[in-house]
């Protein structure tokens, strides 16, 4: 008579199938390991290329952080990502946010960079057509900074 603690018997695979499965798993593990050994190792890029890639990524990230802060009216983050000449004492979120559609590949020359940025302005009704502008950056203290100085009119 069955009791409440009886359990169904555990199904077993035939021994030959289990052995075959083990061999397949071992073969698969070995082939993955060999492929990993064949494809791992030092990348075939020069140290200069790697430094350029890191610099370009850092420049693009500066542009992203700057526009995020601009849209939020975050003066502290704006200043953290701006050169000394472009520091602000206050910031107000714009009436219509600037939508960054794409940040292109920065062109770096020494301590200056030009970053193509495709953007549009979101209005109440819709987005403006996208346009691409070149954003100038300078390296300041080892970091890329946004360096556009707003001019005020005297009048």
pTM: 0.62
* pLDDT for the residue numbered 47: 54
Specify which residues 123 forms β-bridges with.
Answer: none
What the block records as the tokens of 125 is 């009704």
d(CA 148, CA 36): 47
SS3 69: helix
What's the pLDDT at 152? 53
Residues of the chain with pLDDT under 70: 1-49, 150-155
pLDDT of residue 127: 76
**pLDDT at residue 35, as a whole number:** 31
Q: Which domains does the chain have, with CATH numbers?
A: 48-146 (3.10.450.100)
* Per-residue model confidence (pLDDT) at position 111: 94
In tens, the pLDDT along 51-87 reads 889 999 999 999 999 999 999 999 999 999 999 888 8
Predicted local distance difference test score (pLDDT) of residue 128: 85
Residue 98, class by beta-carbon neighbours within 10 Å (0-12 exposed, 13-18 middle, 19+ buried)? middle
Look at residue 143 in the predicted model and tell me its pLDDT: 94
Contact by Cβ (8 Å): 105, 55? no
């Amino acid at each position: 008579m069955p009791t409440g603690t009886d359990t169904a018997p555990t199904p077993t695979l035939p021994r030959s199938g289990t052995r075959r499965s083990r061999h397949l798993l071992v073969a698969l593990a070995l082939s993955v390991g060999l492929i990993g050994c064949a494809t791992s190792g030092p990348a075939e890029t020069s140290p200069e290329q790697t430094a350029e890639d890191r610099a370009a990524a850092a420049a693009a990230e500066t542009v992203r952080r700057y526009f995020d802060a601009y849209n939020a009216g975050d003066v502290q983050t704006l200043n953290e990502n701006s050169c000394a000449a472009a520091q602000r004492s206050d910031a107000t979120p714009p009436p219509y946010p600037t939508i960054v559609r794409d940040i292109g590949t920065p062109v770096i020359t020494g301590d200056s960079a030009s970053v193509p940025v495709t953007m549009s302005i979101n209005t109440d009704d819709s987005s403006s057509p996208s346009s691409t502008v070149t954003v100038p950056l300078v390296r300041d203290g080892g970091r890329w900074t946004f360096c556009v100085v707003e001019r005020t009119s005297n009048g």
